[in-house]
Chain A
Amino acid sequence: MIALVTRRTLQTLIVVFLLVTFTFIAIRLIPGNPLESDKATSSEVMKRMAEPFGFNRPYVTQYLLYWKNLLFKGDLGLSTTLLGRSVSEIISTSFPVSLMLGLTSLIIGVFVGIPLGVIAAMNKNGWIDYLSMVLAMAGICVPAFVLGPVLQLTVARQFDSISAAGWSRPGDLILPAITLSVGVAAYLARLSRGGMLDILSQDFIRTAHAKGLPLKTIIFKHALKPSLLPAITYLGPAFAAIITGSFVVEIIFQVPGMGQHFVNAVISKDPFLLQGLVLFYGLIMGGANLIVDIVIAFLNPRLRETA
């Protein structure tokens, strides 16, 4: 297990290093200038504006300086769109919001999606199965930019304590969390249904039936754990994606999370912010995948031995 963790950690660090390097090159290659504004600016003033960010230096120097500041000072640089704010400050203020929203959505998704999939599998080809899978397919197909406004126009109008958008009251969490969780729940329902059907056709389940074990025991004691492997594999990247924010949901519901920084950093060519977010996202993704590997190893003895 230690070897697995060490290997995965090293892999993650290499991937993150490559990701940041690629981002560094890409953001500088695409056309446009992060300091450009609608107020026409002479090239002389533009140079002065670029000075605090080190953009007047050669790319190689900028790159080496970036890693030096990051590794020795923990400094991720300054944003060019939110002037005077460090990337660390932007991440530290927006990530807790995304984490709160993401975890809530994930919990809703898990508690709705997995039971839905299991129930569907237990009623294979019955109306419950068809209904569950129609709902799951609808959840996958309906995008957040449709579901969000529909919820705003229906649910928010009905309940005074649920706002159409904003991030000031407890009720402000509900609609964005539901919107984000629908896709997760739908995927989990399909994956857990597939997993459960696969396990239910295994010999050891047939043996359990032959031994006369009650259905509840067969499902919860013998089938559920191994049937969740595909869902858990999906949960790793889904967890990383959902807790680092969603641009669409944040814009629709006016949530001050991290997702919009990601998109805005690309659009406005904010190099340090984008590099910092890629680094952070890479680490979260690597960490989440590592946790999934460990969990799967515990759930599946064969994999544990391999690990």
Chain B
Amino acid sequence: MRFLSSILALLLCVLLCQCERKSTVELSTAEKVLIIGNSNEPKALDPHLVSGVVESNILRSVFEGLTNDHPSLDGKAIPGAAARWESNADATEWTFHLQPNGKWSDGTPLTASDFVYSFRRILDPALGANYTDMLYYLEGAQAYHQGKTKDPETIGAQAVDPLTLKLTLSKPTPFLPEIVKHMTWFPVPRHLIEVHGEMNEPHTAWTKEENMIGNGPFQLKAWRLNHKVEVERNPHYWDHENVLLNGIQFLPIKNAFTEARMFLDDLIHVSDKLPAEMIDQMETKFPEMVRKEPYVGVTYVTCNLKRSPFEQASLREALAASINQQAIIDNILRGGERAAYGFTPAFGDYLPPRAVSYQPNEAQKSLAQSTFDQRELHLLITDSEASKAIGEALQSMWQQTLGINVRLEIREWTTYLARRRKGEYDMVLCNWIGDFLDPTTFLDLWKVDNPNNTCGFQLPQYDQLLNKASLTVDPTQRLQTLQKAETELLQFKPMLPIYWRTKIYLKRPEVKGWNPLLLNNHPYKFVDLVPPPQS
């Protein structure tokens, strides 16, 4: 009976609420609380134990690295936890001067020792972090993480005084201020972590909503499983007076169509994506809300060089030249992607060599030069709709242009990853999103010792050129060397580039200070919500 009464009361509430005309977006705009679609539930909120974009989106609000992203300029580092920084001439020694009023969100001062502690924690082998190669720039970091030494003092990070952090690198890294924006470089609160467990103990309670603290412009307010993660303004943030929002809600909306319907029903300010099927309709109805922005990512097919017949360069040439990239973009993706003529997307001052294009006649000639016996090949893809559509398009293109039969091996995510990691594939459809704005975030994938290089690609001159670039301080010379390396890579073609990605999503006009950024890492402290003028 009580339950029935509750239901009746609920219905009454609904009817009464009908009188209220303000939408969720209007109300939260007035409260300056941004509501964002965030595609999935975060696996965890420990910056040392996660590697996904979903988690990064939240963590960038709660933590802040030594530097921060500029709200509109790509590749420009602005002060974050560090007020200023300088390096020696060959960019191997860096000194970061922390913000004098930098604090954790519980009011405890943030010191250089916190950073040293954080670097040692993520590199501690016992923690089981899998994104540690981001810190291998630090001298001794790789050796410590791989257990070659047990002394954390050998890591090139030193707290000179509470506000001065000195980093010693293993090689010149002029783009270090770009790298330290990444979540793996975020400081974690020693005084909290060690209350809930050992330094190298994974998954302790320090990231629970009632415990977690950070040093970013916002602090964790609520974390409701599969419902929302909510952050609110951090009053102890060093620059809190200039933070424009009062809070952000991250909604784990898994279904892109549900997200679009929520957007249209005024339930969110910014969506995470927009399904290809809805792009045309939305562009017609709400052109000002559809955003198509370049994104540093590439989609490509990797060939397993350890398996016959992929050791034949002419076959790989033929497969690459028979991919009609533009047709895939125009008919399947429809998000303004660019046909990938190289592997690394063009950004900043870096221009990849033009080495790949759709040339069906050349493809047939290349195939004729090979000794391929026309047996069936296999392409490993995930079970996502986009992967299946691209896989089917490739299958059809290779059949039509080259007469090669390709069978699609559709596997769900974890099986796909396991097979890719173990090199159990003929060809595999892959995506790679850059971690930072430097070509090495793409080119390092093909180094002989990179764990992502599972296809057996090894070209000594490629590794030598990358090593040479890593020792070059002059930015122009360095980029030229990287371009040479990519030319070598693309001549060999262990992979067949398809397209460079874009970020397609919806954004309401009330959201200000949210500009196109190549990494899509919007610094939330600059974002504002301004209600539209009353008509």
Which A residues have a C-beta under 8 Å from some C-beta of B? 30-34, 36-42, 44-46, 48-49, 51-52, 78, 81-85, 90, 93-94, 103-104, 107, 149, 152-153, 156-157, 159-171, 173-174, 250-254, 256-257, 260-261, 267-269
- B17-55 vs A, CB cutoff 8 Å, 1 = contact: the mask equals 110110110000000000000000101101001111000
Query: Does B452 touch A at the CB level, under 8 Å?
Result: yes
Taking CB as reference atom, which chain A residue is nearest B37? Answer: A254
Q: Is the CB of B418 within 8 A of A83?
A: no
A sample of 15 inter-chain contacts (CB < 8 A) reads A30-B415, A32-B415, A39-B131, A45-B129, A82-B225, A94-B225, A164-B262, A164-B265, A165-B265, A165-B267, A169-B17, A170-B17, A254-B258, A267-B414, A268-B413
B59 to chain A, nearest CB (A): 14
Q: Is the CB of A83 within 8 A of B44?
A: yes
The stretch among B61-69, B201-209, B347-355, B476-484 that forms the contact with chain A is: B201-209
The stretch among B6-14, B367-375, B501-509 that forms the contact with chain A is: B6-14
Q: Is the CB of A32 within 8 A of B226?
A: no
Query: Does B126 touch A at the CB level, under 8 Å?
Result: yes
Task: Give the docked Cα–Cα distance between A82 and B50 (Å).
Answer: 11
Residues on B with C-beta less than 8 A from A52 are 128, 202-203
Q: Is the CB of A84 within 8 A of B257?
A: no
A147 to chain B, nearest CB (A): 14
How many B residues, CB 8 Å from partner?
Answer: 64
B3 to chain A, nearest CB (A): 7
B258 to chain A, nearest CB (A): 5
Task: Give the docked Cα–Cα distance between A152 and B264 (Å).
Answer: 10
Q: Is the CB of A254 within 8 A of B251?
A: yes
Given B14, B24, B43, B417, which contacts A162 in the complex, CB threshold below 8 Å?
A: B14
Taking CB as reference atom, which chain A residue is nearest B419? Answer: A31
Most A CB within 10 A of own CB, among B15, B203, B226: B226
Task: Give the docked Cα–Cα distance between A157 and B413 (Å).
Answer: 35
Other A-B pairs, 20, CB within 8 Å; known A84-B208, A164-B265, A166-B251: A41-B451, A48-B125, A49-B130, A52-B202, A83-B43, A83-B49, A84-B202, A85-B225, A152-B261, A152-B265, A156-B265, A161-B14, A164-B262, A165-B261, A167-B227, A170-B14, A250-B226, A254-B251, A256-B225, A256-B226
Task: Give the docked Cα–Cα distance between A39 and B454 (Å).
Answer: 12
Given A39-B130, A49-B130, A170-B10, also A78-B203 (CB < 8 A): yes
- B214-246 vs A, CB cutoff 8 Å, 1 = contact: the mask equals 000000000011110000000000000000000
Q: Is the CB of B126 within 8 A of A48?
A: yes
Q: Is the CB of A36 within 8 A of B418?
A: yes
Task: Give the docked Cα–Cα distance between A118 and B254 (Å).
Answer: 41
Task: Give the docked Cα–Cα distance between A90 and B43 (Å).
Answer: 13
Q: Is the CB of B454 within 8 A of A40?
A: yes
Residues on A with C-beta less than 8 A from B495 are none
B16 to chain A, nearest CB (A): 8
Residues on B with C-beta less than 8 A from A156 are 261, 265
- B127-151 vs A, CB cutoff 8 Å, 1 = contact: the mask equals 1111110000000000000100000
Per the 8 Å Cβ criterion, residues 358-406 of B in contact with A are none
Q: Is the CB of A269 within 8 A of B414?
A: yes
Query: Does B255 touch A at the CB level, under 8 Å?
Result: yes
Residues on A with C-beta less than 8 A from B89 are none
A238 to chain B, nearest CB (A): 17
Task: Give the docked Cα–Cα distance between A166 and B23 (Å).
Answer: 13
Most A CB within 10 A of own CB, among B18, B132, B255: B255
Residues on B with C-beta less than 8 A from A161 are 14-15, 17-18, 20
In the complex, the 3 A-B pairs of residues with the closest C-beta atoms, listed nearest first: A32-B414, A84-B203, A48-B128
Given B20, B254, B265, B421, which contacts A40 in the complex, CB threshold below 8 Å?
A: B421
Given B23, B125, B126, B146, which contacts A160 in the complex, CB threshold below 8 Å?
A: B23
Residues on B with C-beta less than 8 A from A30 are 415
Residues on B with C-beta less than 8 A from A257 are 226
Q: Is the CB of A37 within 8 A of B261?
A: no
Task: Give the docked Cα–Cα distance between A166 and B52 (Å).
Answer: 24
Count of A-B contacts judged by CB separation below 8 Å: 168
Task: Give the docked Cα–Cα distance between A82 and B55 (Å).
Answer: 12
Task: Give the docked Cα–Cα distance between A169 and B18 (Å).
Answer: 12
Residues on B with C-beta less than 8 A from A37 are 51-52, 130, 417
Most B CB within 10 A of own CB, among A30, A37, A39, A252: A39
Task: Give the docked Cα–Cα distance between A90 and B226 (Å).
Answer: 10
Q: Is the CB of B225 within 8 A of A149?
A: no
Q: Is the CB of A81 within 8 A of B130?
A: no
A217 to chain B, nearest CB (A): 26
Taking CB as reference atom, which chain A residue is nearest B147? Answer: A44
Q: Is the CB of A45 within 8 A of B44?
A: no
Task: Give the docked Cα–Cα distance between A168 and B49 (Å).
Answer: 30
Residues on A with C-beta less than 8 A from B253 are 165, 254
A81 to chain B, nearest CB (A): 6
Task: Give the docked Cα–Cα distance between A84 and B265 (Å).
Answer: 34
Q: Is the CB of A31 within 8 A of B418?
A: yes
Q: Is the CB of A32 within 8 A of B44?
A: no
Q: Is the CB of A82 within 8 A of B421?
A: no
Residues on B with C-beta less than 8 A from A256 are 224-227
Task: Give the docked Cα–Cα distance between A131 and B125 (Å).
Answer: 68
Taking CB as reference atom, which chain B residue is nearest A174? Answer: B14
Residues on B with C-beta less than 8 A from A34 are 414
Taking CB as reference atom, which chain A residue is nearest B129? Answer: A45
Residues on A with C-beta less than 8 A from B204 are 84
Given A31-B418, A34-B414, A254-B258, also A82-B44 (CB < 8 A): yes
Residues on A with C-beta less than 8 A from B129 are 45
Task: Give the docked Cα–Cα distance between A132 and B463 (Å).
Answer: 73
Query: Does B280 touch A at the CB level, under 8 Å?
Result: no
A152 to chain B, nearest CB (A): 5
Task: Give the docked Cα–Cα distance between A167 and B226 (Å).
Answer: 10
Given A31, A39, A104, A152, which contacts B7 in the complex, CB threshold below 8 Å?
A: A104
Taking CB as reference atom, which chain A residue is nearest B263? Answer: A164
Task: Give the docked Cα–Cα distance between A173 and B3 (Å).
Answer: 14
Given A42-B451, A159-B18, also A267-B413 (CB < 8 A): yes
Given A46, A81, A94, A153, which contacts B261 in the complex, CB threshold below 8 Å?
A: A153
Q: Is the CB of A84 within 8 A of B207?
A: yes
Residues on B with C-beta less than 8 A from A170 are 10, 13-14, 17
Task: Give the docked Cα–Cα distance between A152 and B251 (Å).
Answer: 18
Given B20, B412, B417, which contacts A38 in the complex, CB threshold below 8 Å?
A: B417
Q: Is the CB of A33 within 8 A of B414?
A: yes
Q: Is the CB of A41 within 8 A of B421?
A: yes
Q: Is the CB of B3 within 8 A of A31?
A: no
Residues on B with C-beta less than 8 A from A251 are 254-255, 258
Q: Is the CB of A33 within 8 A of B418?
A: yes
Residues on A with C-beta less than 8 A from B14 are 159, 161-162, 170-171, 174
Q: Is the CB of A252 within 8 A of B258?
A: yes
Q: Is the CB of B258 within 8 A of A84?
A: no
Residues on A with C-beta less than 8 A from B128 are 45, 48-49, 51-52
Given A36-B417, A83-B203, A94-B226, also A171-B258 (CB < 8 A): no
